[in-house]
Structure formats: structure tokens, C-alpha cells
Structure 1
């Protein structure tokens, strides 16, 4: 539970530009970059005292690269940070080993960095390549090629066996790191789904919607934003359906509408159960002229989707308030605006769409 608790505490302090799914990679990279910079900083005076001025200078460059990786990671560029760290570590190991020999042990850092790279880069095949590359560099530094593969059995034959055994052990280490990554990411996806999905409908929940809107509205460190529209949808007379037919039928109505939402709207649209019988729909990069015809089409399809229960036909209708984001408007104000338009749709007879700007009513389809 301790690692999960640590991750949970870190999530509470997560920078705005770091997504939840990248939090683990962000933390691993942050800790690695700070530790790496500190270690190389200590090497600078050590090599200077030992009269290895070239290695001292190289470690100055190393510190700069590790700090650059830290800054890249803080700006949400984890993959760039991984490239900086692996490039520095692999080059430093080669140079230090060539100058000081394998007895200095600098190539052993490759073992740690290879496993770290295998679980940190966002693209799995790139992570695997980086991990295997580190292991191969280690082997070539530890065992010169002339000794690794002797042409005939002799004094070097045991060394060849040792090399093969060590190679298998190292590659297995990377393999286990990749397997651990797969298991961990699968668990993360499951936990993320539980935290951001509505259990009944499978749509995103209110928590996810707030996080997504915060990013779209430009409430981020990089100041970027994306134009978007949103709609609040409320099932008409849902309380009467629950009272007359029971909550099980009410749940079935919610599921049927949710399934229709998923089938009708674009994959890029974000569909959320806002609470109770309300749904929040977010349309990135779309304005009202694009959204209104699509919402009308949804209404029309909903009219042809009756639900049968004990011989009774339950006809479902919805009221909709739809609005568009304007620069500088906080998403809370936008939701309040959509809620106001939804209230108007209810007050003016239900089964209709009230749009933003002019407050013009969009009549229900015939």
C-alpha cells in the first residue's frame, strides 16, 4: 500500500500539464533526473582531484543534460527527458570505461538505466530498444569482442559461456521490466477507468469532465486552449419513469440513452454522465453550426427508441441546453450557461434544444 499511497499523494500535487496516465512516468523521470544530476555533480571535483580534467568537463556536460531532462519532464515532455538521460548515460559509460577501464565500474550504471528506460518511455517498442541497447553496450564494454567469441575451445571458452549466461540474465532483466510495466499499466488503466467512468453507463463521469474542461479552457501552464462547445442533456419526466416503473427500468433508460450517445456522436466527442438523469457532452473544435444538426439527429433517433416494460411503451425525450466556449470564459461559467439554457428548454415545454448566443429555440424534429 505504501507505493500506492505515495502515488496518490503525488497525484494531489500533480502539475496541470501532466496527465493522470503519465504521472508514474513523470515521477520516475523526476526522481531519476535529480539523482543523476547530483551524482554527476559529485564526480566533477572527484575527477578534478584525480587529475582527469577531461572527465571532469564531461561531467559538467552531464549535469547540464540531466537538468535539461528534469526541465523537459516538468513541462510534460517525458519522452524527450528519457532520450536526454539515456544518451548521456550511455555515452558517459562508454567514455569513462574507455579511459578508466572496466575496473572503475562506470558501465554498471547501464544496468539500472536500461531497466529504467524500459518502463519509462511512452512507446513500448522504443522503451524495449533503449533497454536492450543499454544491455548490449554493457556487454561490449565488459567483454571485448575478441574475447567474447573465440574461434575454438581454449582458455577463452569459459569466458564465452560466462558472457552468454550474463547476456541471458541481462536480457531477461529487461524482459521482466517490460512485463512489470505491462502489468502495472494494465492496473493503472483499470484504476483510471474506475475513477473516471460511470459504473452504470460506462460513460465518463463528472470528475473526468471537470479535468477535461480545465485543459480545454486553457487553465494550463502552457496557456494553450482549444475551442469547443458543450451541451447539457436532461431526460424528460425521468422521476415519473422511476416512480411508475421502478429504478431498474430507470437504469435501463439511462443505459439505452448512453448507448445511443456513443453510437451517434463522434469518437472525439467526450460523453459524460453529469449526475442523475443529466448528461454533459463536450465537442472539441466544434461550433454551434456544427453541433445543432447533430443534436437534432440524436433527438430524432431517440424518438424511435421506445423501451418496453410489462406491455407499456416508454417513450423517451430529452431537453438540451447547448453553448460554445469563448476565450477567457471559465468552464464553470460555461456549464452554468448551458444549465440556464436547459432550464429554459424545460420551461418552454421540454423535448427541445435551446441554443446559445441568441437563446433561439430549436424545435423538436417532426
Structure 2
């Protein structure tokens, strides 16, 4: 009983830990997007000051509007609309670079922002992994288009060479900052991906170790439980629900599942046992602390609990019995042969009239 409670408690602790990790990861994701948005907002605030100092009122108004845009992105990120946020930010930067290049000239270096933003392919809130690469290709395309168009049209910059160099340095600093943030995001994304992989492995391991219908161990789970018990003597019983096919044929498989789950619960309530669903309606019971006489008494108690339990389904009272084969041995490489011997004794009990223990 204690081991059953311990396994149930461990499963509950793992689920709580997984839920906690999920919430932590969600918080980390939210912080990443908030930092990206705040960085964009800060850059545009600095642009307002820069263009205000240059007396370019049109660019000041544009960047005030961009600042308001990033405030709206904060709201969307708060509600988890990450795909919309990332898409709009990519488009906003492309439009800003086009407008800024036409207003200030190619030498102002606004196009550097496109190269920096193209590095943010690690931000993938989309269902399709190729979408970030599509945005990167768009930004590179805009970069090449602006360069070719500027050279062919022979446009004249609206600011002096000295001011263009100053703006260029500012844009270079902003671009380097974006790239540094991108590397940080990559590290966070890698950690989150690793965490998700570990959680999936835990879920798969738990699913492989525990039978989903009855809640007892599977063969894989039993193997894990027996590893620390290698070399120890044990009593091994293989039990089979009598006439289980008749129950399925008469009352249906839903009733059969109910009988299996209930019988497994009754077996698990017995102290000092490890219960494994060996296959179908067969259950393997391992007792490592009882001599043969006590092990027989344990099985007698289990058989009596199942025999006297009021199995009821759809208004029908169903009498369930169980036949056991019992053997003793040492847990080790020959474990399968011990189970085979218990299986032979169980079928001997079936031939002798069922509802009995053969040892």
C-alpha cells in the first residue's frame, strides 16, 4: 500500500513540477517579447530626439507614431498574440527603413536595421518554421532594392555628410544592439526547447511505466522497479481474471475495462506488493518481504477481496474471481523463467476449477 501511495505521490509531484515549469517557460517567453518591444520603442524614442535636433519634423511625427505602435504591441503581447506582434514588427521596420532612406539618404545607414532584424529567425511563434526565414528574405530583398534604386536614380541626400555620418553611427549602434538581443533570445529559445524536450521525455516515460487503464505498472515500469532489487529473493504470482472473455462478450468492453481497473485497484491496496499488468487480464504481483506462507495469505486476501467485491454494471451484479500461480526465486536474469513457471501453475489452477492459488 505504501509503495502504491509513493508511486502515486511521485506522479503527482512530477505533474506539479511540469505545470510549474510550463508557467515559468510562459513567463520567460513573455519577457523575451516584452524586451524586444521595449527595445524597439526605445530606439524610436531616441529617433524622435535625433530628428528633432535635426529639425526634421516629418520624421519626428513618424517616430512618435512608431512609438505608439510599439505600445500597442505591448498590449498584444500581454494577451499572448505573439504571431501578430512579430509580423507587424517586421513590416513596421521595413516601412520605416524605406521611408527613412528616402528622407535621409542611403549613407544614413538605416538599411543596417534590415540586416539586424533578419537575424531574428530564432523567434518562431508561428506554426510553420519557414515563416521567419520568409521575413528575413523580405528584409534582405528590401535592402538590395533600396541600394539598387538609390544608385540608379542618383538621389541627393537631404542632410549633410557630417549629419549622415552621425545618423549612420546611431543606426549601427542600434543594429548591433538588436543582434546582441537576438543572440540572447537564441539562448533563451534553446533553453526553452530543451525544457520542452525534457518534459516530453518525462511524459513518455510515465506513460510507458504506468498502464493508462488500471494505473498499475507496465512491464517497462516493472523492469525499472526491479533494478534496485536485483539478487533479492521474492515471491512471484501471476493472476488471471476468470472467464474474462465471457464478461466482455456479455456486457461489453466498457464493462470489461471497469472490471480490470477495479480489480487492479483492489490488488494495489495490498501492502508489500508491486502490481504489474502483464497482459490483457493477467496481473503480475511481486512480494519481496514475505515468505511463501505469508505470500499465500496475501494472495488469499486479494482473491477474497475480488470475489466479495460488489462489481455492478448497468444494473447487473457481476461475480468476479481470480486464479493465481505462485512461485519463488531470486530477482535477476532468470526472472522471465520464474514468471513462466508462475504462468504454468496459474493454468494448472484454471484446469482444476479456477478461483484458487497454485504454488
Identify, as 1 or 2, the structure richer in helix. Answer: 2
TM-score (norm 2): 0.45
Higher alpha-carbon Rg: 2
TM-score (norm 1): 0.44
